[in-house]
Every structure is written in structure tokens, then in C-alpha cells.
Chain A
Amino acid sequence: MNWLAYGIVLWVALGLELGLRPALALGPTGIAPSIVIPLVVFVAMHAPGMAAAWAAVAAGLLLDLTFPIGLEGGGEVRVPGPMAIGLLLATGATTNIRGMLIKHNPLTVAAVSVIAALIAWLAAWVLLGVRDMYGDPIAFSAGPEFGRRMLSSLYTGLVGGIEALVLFPIAGVFGFQSVVGPRRMVPR
């Protein structure tokens, strides 16, 4: 896997997520899609397991660091870990099922993105919920967050399908060993 190419695409995806997320949010509900998660899914579907795992950790760590969590007494904190762990679990699930998937279909990316987003956000929800239980002063309310993350996962699937249309044509730059892109009929 070409890490430089992945780094550049991840940088663009993170920038888009930071810039577009407020605009894509459904009003004041906070339900918004992720642009980074479909990329991680795409990599998990095609890259070697270990590379996909590290790619997920890197992407998750960046998400953790760029989205601060408010503190009840004022201020904010960046918690490195929840999304990194969540995306690692999501990547593990994807690599386990990828043998059964039609990899070259954008709808597959969309569907797997929904599952991956569910796993990642639920893992992060659990970890943040544990912090909330032991009295850490983060502004986190488990109930509303759960529903928000469920619906955001569905929304991420929608965005993931569109994102796949961009990722398939540039898949060659990632240096995946598996064949990526539309199948061609090869004459015998």
C-alpha cells in the first residue's frame, strides 16, 4: 500500500469533513455524515489486513484530535482514542467480511460504510460513556448521542456511495495488490 497516497487522500478527506460537516448536518440535530469513514472502509476492503488496521488507527486518531469535546465547566478536551479504537474495530469487521463482498460496486462501499460507521461510533460512544460514568466532566449525554450516531451512520452510507465514485477511479494510486476498478472482459 502506498502510504503517501493514503496520507494525501486522508488529508483531503479530513479537510472536507471539517469543512463540510456543519453544512451537511441535518439542521440542529447534529446528524451528519462522515467522509473519512468511507475512505477507511474502502482501504479495508482492498488493503492487506495490517496496513488497513494502521490506516484506520491513523484516521481515527486524526478524527479524535480534530473534534474537541466540550467540558461541563467550560473549555474543551481532545480525547485521543475513541474513534481510533472504533475505526480499528470497524476495519476488523470489514476485513473479515470482504471475501464475501462485491468489491467493485459503489453500493457495497455504501452498505459497508453504514456498518463500519455504526461499529466505530458505538465503540466511541461506549468509551465516552465509561468516562461519563466515572464522573469525567465531559459534556456527553449517552441517550441522545446514541440516536444521533445511529442516524449519522445511515447518512454516512449515503455519502459513502457517492465517495466511492471518486475513490474507484483513483484506486490505482493506493497501490493495492487486489484488482480495483470496473471488471474488464479479457479475451482468452
Chain B
Amino acid sequence: MEPRRLLGVAVVALVVLSLTPARHLAFAGWFGTLAQTLAAPVSHPVSRVVGWVTPGGSLPAAEGTADDWRDRAEAFETLYLREREENARLRSLVEDLQAGVAIAPGVSVRQLSASVVAASSDLASGLLTVRTPAGAGVSPRATVAIVEGIQLLGTVDSASPLLCQVRPITDASSPRLEGVVILGDSRDAPRLLCTLSPTGSGTLAGPVESAAGLAESEGLQRGQRVRLADPTWPASAQQLVIGVVERIDSNPDQPLRKQIVVRPLVDLSRVREVVLRIPIAGGVGGGTEGGGP
């Protein structure tokens, strides 16, 4: 075709396109993006230079303007707050780990922090799935999970190289456990023995008695801590906190004895991070490791 005639055709086409309704011109957007992309190697550096030369000039919200700096300041503030929160979490974790060691200083355990990745998909089950740290050596029954340094969560039911299942002590399927109620603040404070069973509502309940097996309940008050003292549990779990006395009732079967309801310090079904206390083979006090409830 002759160039002059071709130009005429092009002109007609351009006039038609110029008057075509906007709803039929969506295809031009693709060509526009292509053209802008091709021009970007020149236009982008120029825009940057303009931004430097005319700070806060006529480029609203463009790079280098006051709005841009304000956006950056907000982004850094968000980052700072996030890091501060992370710092507080790590400090708390360190304190938890130190508290856990202090509970039983003679027992050789390795404490590893692990995340709860899922609760059980079965609503009837309260098992928690925990991500196992690589090479942790988690073994069922012998490894205990705790939260907040001193609160007993439960034992590891099963373990694989990547994940392990922890059964909380408040889970309805958990076995009965024995503990002591400490009646004072001192180390030599009198203690009462108790046998606690999960109630299924996040608490444990059971009768309380003196060390001699008598129905003594003098000094028993709400808020007193209950610690684990069960020989069927690993040594690394002994003296960990089961919870606090929430309620003191009369035992319906034995009116002369009292029954306590114990609530853990935290809601064990909602924990997101746990500390696994893994016994070290051959360590001091490892005699009862591997027993489990």
C-alpha cells in the first residue's frame, strides 16, 4: 500500500478510536502500560532527581516529598513497636526458662521453646500439636511441656521428628494426678495432699487430706498454689505448678473431708508457645525419667 494511502487509513482509524466510547477502549490500557514500562528507564531516574531537587515540591506523595517521609516515619514507628513487642516476648521467655530451671535445679533437663502449631481437629480431643525443634530428642512420656516457666501443661503423648502431641492436664482424657497444696509462703510451710482429676471444663478437682491421711483442712484457702508431687510423673515435672485453689467444697461422698477445685494459672487450651523440658540421658535425678503418668 502506498505510504500516503496508509497514512489516510491510519488517520481514519485514529479518528474512530478518538471517538470510541471509553467502555470499548480497555485494550488500550495494555498498550499504555507497555509504553510507560518502556519509558520508565528514562522517566523513573528523572522523577527521582526531581524529587531530590524539589523536596516537598509539586509531586504529591511522590518519592522524596514530605508525605513520602511521613509514610516512611510511620513505617519505621510500626517496625519499632513490633520489635519492642518481640523484645518483651523474648525477655519473658528468658524469665520463663530461668524459672523452670529453678524449679528443680538438681534435675538435668534441656529446655526448648516450641510453638503450638495446631489444636486437635477433633473437638472431643484437647491434644495440642507442637512443632518439635530439630534434633531436640523429644520422647513420649518422658518429656514435659510447661508454660510461663512454672505452669505444668502436660506430657508429650507422641512425637515425630517434626511434631509432637501434648496432652494438657486439664484434658478430660488425662489421667488423675497427685499434688500438694502449700499452705504458706515459706519452704517449710505445711502441705496437704490432693488427688486431682480433670473436670473437662479447664479445671481439676479432687479430695484433699493431710500427709497422714487424715481429713485435715485447716489453713486451706482459696488462691493457694497446688504443685505436682506424683511419682508416676517424670522427675523434671515434680513441683511444677498445677494451678491455684479456686474453690473449696465439701466432699459429697465423705462430708468430713474437703474437695478442692484447682484452676491452672493460664488457660491451657489457648497457649501458643510452650517450653519442652527434655531429660538429658545420664543426668542427675533422671531415675524416674521415662516413667510418665
Contacts A12-B42, A14-B39 aside, 17 further interface pairs with beta carbons under 8 A come to: A15-B40, A18-B47, A19-B42, A19-B44, A22-B59, A22-B62, A23-B53, A23-B54, A23-B59, A65-B36, A66-B36, A68-B29, A85-B15, A128-B18, A131-B18, A131-B21, A136-B22
Asked whether A54 and B7 contact (CB < 8 A) given A16-B43, A65-B35, the answer is: yes
Per-position 1/0 for A122-139, Cβ under 8 A of B: 000001101100001110
User: Counting CB contacts under 8 A, is A53 at the interface?
Assistant: yes
Picked from B21, B29, B39, B50, the residue with its CB within 8 Å of the CB of A20 is B50
A53 to B10: give the CA distance in the assembly, Å: 11
Q: Give A33-59 interface residues, CB cut-off 8 Å to B.
A: 50, 53-54, 57
Nearest B residue to A25, CB-CB? B58
Give 29 pairs: A residue, B residue, CB < 8 Å, sorted on A: A11-B42, A14-B35, A14-B43, A15-B39, A15-B41, A15-B46, A16-B46, A17-B43, A18-B36, A20-B50, A22-B47, A23-B50, A25-B58, A27-B58, A28-B58, A50-B4, A50-B7, A57-B7, A65-B32, A65-B36, A66-B35, A66-B36, A71-B22, A76-B29, A78-B28, A85-B15, A85-B18, A131-B19, A131-B22
Nearest A residue to B54, CB-CB? A23
Per-position 1/0 for B1-28, Cβ under 8 A of A: 0011001001100111111111001101
A131 to B16: give the CA distance in the assembly, Å: 11
Evaluate contact between A81 and B32: CB separation under 8 angstroms. no
Nearest A residue to B28, CB-CB? A78
User: Counting CB contacts under 8 A, is A84 at the interface?
Assistant: yes
Per-position 1/0 for B230-245, Cβ under 8 A of A: 0000000000000000
Give A82 Cβ to nearest chain B Cβ, in Å.
Answer: 5
User: Counting CB contacts under 8 A, is B106 at the interface?
Assistant: no
Asked whether A11 and B39 contact (CB < 8 A) given A71-B22, A80-B28, A88-B11, the answer is: yes
Q: Give A67-81 interface residues, CB cut-off 8 Å to B.
A: 68, 71, 76-81
For A77, the chain B residues whose CB sits under 8 A away are 22, 25-26, 28-29
Nearest B residue to A67, CB-CB? B32
Per DSSP, chain B at the interface is helix
Asked whether A130 and B10 contact (CB < 8 A) given A23-B50, A66-B32, A66-B39, the answer is: no
User: Counting CB contacts under 8 A, is A62 at the interface?
Assistant: yes
For B32, the chain A residues whose CB sits under 8 A away are 65-66, 68, 78
For A57, the chain B residues whose CB sits under 8 A away are 7, 10, 14
Nearest 6 CB-CB pairings of A with B: A15-B42, A19-B46, A81-B18, A18-B43, A19-B43, A78-B32
Which range contains the number of B residues in contact with the other chain?
Answer: 35 or more
Evaluate contact between B57 and A62: CB separation under 8 angstroms. no
For B11, the chain A residues whose CB sits under 8 A away are 85, 88
For A22, the chain B residues whose CB sits under 8 A away are 47, 50, 58-59, 62
A25 to B207: give the CA distance in the assembly, Å: 85
Per-position 1/0 for A75-114, Cβ under 8 A of B: 0111111101100100000000000000000000000000
A27 to B60: give the CA distance in the assembly, Å: 11
Nearest A residue to B14, CB-CB? A81
Evaluate contact between A79 and B58: CB separation under 8 angstroms. no
Picked from A23, A62, A81, the residue with its CB within 8 Å of the CB of B35 is A62
Max chain B C-beta neighbours (<10 A), residue from A18, A19, A68: A19
Evaluate contact between A130 and B39: CB separation under 8 angstroms. no
Nearest B residue to A26, CB-CB? B58
Nearest A residue to B49, CB-CB? A19
A136 to B21: give the CA distance in the assembly, Å: 6
For A76, the chain B residues whose CB sits under 8 A away are 29
A81 to B20: give the CA distance in the assembly, Å: 10
User: Counting CB contacts under 8 A, is B213 at the interface?
Assistant: no
For B28, the chain A residues whose CB sits under 8 A away are 65, 77-80
A18 to B47: give the CA distance in the assembly, Å: 8
